Amino acid sequence: MKKVFIDGRAGTTGLRIYDRLSGRHDIELLWLSDNERKNTAARKEMLNKADIAILCLPDDAAREAVSLIENPEVTVLDTSTAHRTKEGWAYGLPELSADHEKNIINSRRIAVPGCHATGFISLVYPLIEASVISADTLLTCHSLTGYSGGGKSMIAQYEEDADELLKAPREYALGQTHKHLPEMKAMTGLTYDPVFCPIVSDFFSGMLVAVSLFSQQLNAGKTTDDVRRVLQEKYNGPLIKYCERIDENGYISAAGLSGKDSMQIAVYGNEQRILLMALFDNLGKGSAGAAIECLNLKLGIDRTTGLDL
């Protein structure tokens, strides 16, 4: 039975992963008491004792955790931003291609994608791969997220603060320096960073990522039907599925898949202006669910084991 250690179990993502894994009988969960979980020596012991270590830590702490691992047999799943574009790390979005899945299965270092990036890359990568759009296409992305994406401090702010301004959506990363931009560019093969507009709102979890296209941005001979066809052919699995519609009466709620580990993709708009939409949970396919899917692939079992679809 494989041993799994969650370093950072007390955080938002760590708690969701622990909740998903704690009832399973095919793995042994290693854990530290609250008194020990910040003790470097105790963490090092567990990190080297585990077959698979899942890091749910800030970037610098994740880098430190990797440096503590001396056992070459340990597989690391890192949910932070620290290693997502680093050479030697597999990118944990297996639905992109057979090669992506193979890299995850064969690697001992796996970077779990960022939540916003997961939606953007899932929408854009197949279109560049199929030459529906070019790598030098200038793109704009809006992403609406629940406040759990900001971790414990933001959760406390929304759930304990009486500030009326928190009741309305808030756009952030106004300087166009969001930490997910490097992976959004690198993993799609884009020449230029997209204009990225993340928005946090007063609901706990859920995410709706939208990428807009003008028909003039499609390569010669390509149409909206080609966009739909490519995404439909790419995504017909249990965790990412193309849907003809994901709205209800013309509205799409970003909380529509809250609590779930799956993603729904749809194409809206018309022949001139195209809207690519990805609906999922920022804590599901956007973090914890993605980490567990990669864990399952490493274990050689059904990728959906322990997930809520």
Asked if residue 304 belongs to a domain, the reply is: no
Domain shared by 80 and 138, yes or no: no
214, 199, 198: which is closest to 139 by C-alpha? 214
Mean pLDDT, range 104-132, rounded to an integer = 99
Domain shared by 159 and 228, yes or no: yes
Mean pLDDT, range 48-59, rounded to an integer = 98
Active site residue 115: yes
Asked if residue 188 belongs to a domain, the reply is: yes
pLDDT of residue 257: 98
What CATH number corresponds to the domain at position 44?
Answer: 3.40.50.720
Asked if residue 308 belongs to a domain, the reply is: no
Domain that holds residue 149: 115-282
Alpha helix segments (H runs only) across the chain: 12-21, 40-49, 59-68, 98-106, 115-129, 151-160, 181-188, 224-234, 289-299
pTM higher than 0.85: yes
Q: Give how many domains the chain has, as a whole number.
A: 2
Domain shared by 85 and 212, yes or no: no
Mean pLDDT, range 4-28, rounded to an integer = 95
Number of residues in the chain? 309
Asked if residue 307 belongs to a domain, the reply is: no
Mean pLDDT, range 188-195, rounded to an integer = 98
Mean pLDDT, range 284-289, rounded to an integer = 98
Asked if residue 85 belongs to a domain, the reply is: yes
Domain shared by 195 and 232, yes or no: yes
From residue 23, give the alpha-carbon distance in Å to each of 28, 76, 148, 288, 306.
10, 21, 23, 15, 8
Domain shared by 69 and 191, yes or no: no
Domain shared by 178 and 34, yes or no: no
What CATH number corresponds to the domain at position 221?
Answer: 3.30.360.10
Asked if residue 305 belongs to a domain, the reply is: no
Please spell the DSSP secondary structure of 243-289, one letter per residue.
-S---BTTB--TTTTTT-S-EEEEEEE-SSEEEEEEEE-TTIIIIIH
In sequence order, which residues have a C-beta less than 8 Å from that of residue 277 and are 6 or more positions away? Answer: 123, 208, 209, 210, 246, 252, 265, 266, 267, 268
Domain shared by 267 and 149, yes or no: yes
Asked if residue 133 belongs to a domain, the reply is: yes
C-beta of residue 198 within 8 angstroms of C-beta of residue 172: yes
Domain shared by 103 and 172, yes or no: no
Mean pLDDT, range 195-220, rounded to an integer = 98
Catalytic residue among 115, 141, 197, 243: 115
List pLDDT tens digits, range 225-255. 999 999 999 999 999 999 999 999 999 999 9
Asked if residue 309 belongs to a domain, the reply is: no
Domain shared by 100 and 153, yes or no: no
Whether the predicted pLDDT of 261 surpasses 90: yes
pLDDT of residue 187: 98
Domain shared by 32 and 158, yes or no: no
C-beta of residue 5 within 8 angstroms of C-beta of residue 51: no
- pLDDT-wise least confident of 9-18, 120-129, 158-167, 268-277: 158-167
Q: How confident is the model at residue 163 (pLDDT cuts 50, 70, 90)?
A: confident
Domain shared by 60 and 147, yes or no: no
Whether the predicted pLDDT of 161 surpasses 90: no
Domain shared by 166 and 101, yes or no: no
Instruction: Say what percent of the chain tops pLDDT 90.
Output: 95
